Structure 1
Amino acid sequence: MSRVLFVCLGNICRSPTAEAVFRVIAPEVEADSAGTGDWHIGHPPHPPAIRAAEARGFPMSDLRARQFTVDDFDAFDLIVAMDRQNLSDIERLRPSGNATPVRLMLDYLPDAPTSEVPDPYYTGDFDEALDLITGAARHLRAALQFRDAD
């Protein structure tokens, strides 16, 4: 079984949305989420994120924010960041010799209109974030199945 960690800044919008989507579309993969910041540890996802995801059948009200740690490099097979700043923050924590891949979420979405998932906490567009995350998650699932077949 693959283990995938989705990471954003506060772990209350984008990364828990990605975790919730992935739990539904790829139940064979163990998914989790975290934030590079520590502001929301223990809090549920942002209410508008919950409403948007659950309206499309992606339950997430049970999730709680946690902070990304160096131990996550060993605990997961793939770490997926929502934007370049979080990817950079993750890489700064990488232990010497660790080879766990760290990718951008939208690297998995062909013809994505942008390279980063816009943060709906600031844009207010939770449906846009959900559309991008769902599309990328479907391609990520296919990529993991192909990799597991090798």
Structure 2
Amino acid sequence: MLVIPSLEGDYMSSVGKVCGSLRELIIESNRAIGILENIVSPLTLEEKTKLEPLKEELSKISIRIKDINFEKNLMIAINEYEKGDYLCAWLIAGRVIVYILQCIPGKDINEKVVFLEEKGIITRDEKDVVNFIIKTDKETRDIASHTISTF
């Protein structure tokens, strides 16, 4: 328990005790702020319900993918997102995005897009898909490497 002395008696001694107590109060306050900042705010039931189609789609895709880590990483990312730990969710999901993009042949994202077009996976007409792939690649790298303000 924090005790702040009164200013009775020797004034300088009392001021020193008050300053010491104030320092202790500041330290304890900062510790409490740190604890409170780590408390996450989980999603509402309605928000969680919106994730169900994503989970179903993940289950369908995972049947065709032999690597169990793909599904495992994305399920962990979804679970962390549901708990309100958005940075953790983003880092795990971002890892999957980077992994997928690394599996596509090409030196840079533009070569990867050309490869996907040549294989008939996407077409030039699907500008929104092409733009999404390029934007996702850039944002994943930027946030993971250059942005320190993401929490």
- TM > 0.5: no
What TM-score comes out, normalization by structure 1 length?
0.25
Which structure has the larger Rg? 2
What TM-score comes out, normalization by structure 2 length?
0.25
Q: Identify, as 1 or 2, the structure richer in strand.
A: 1
Instruction: Considering Cα pairs closer than 8 Å and 6+ residues apart, tell me whether 1 or 2 has the greater RCO.
Output: 1
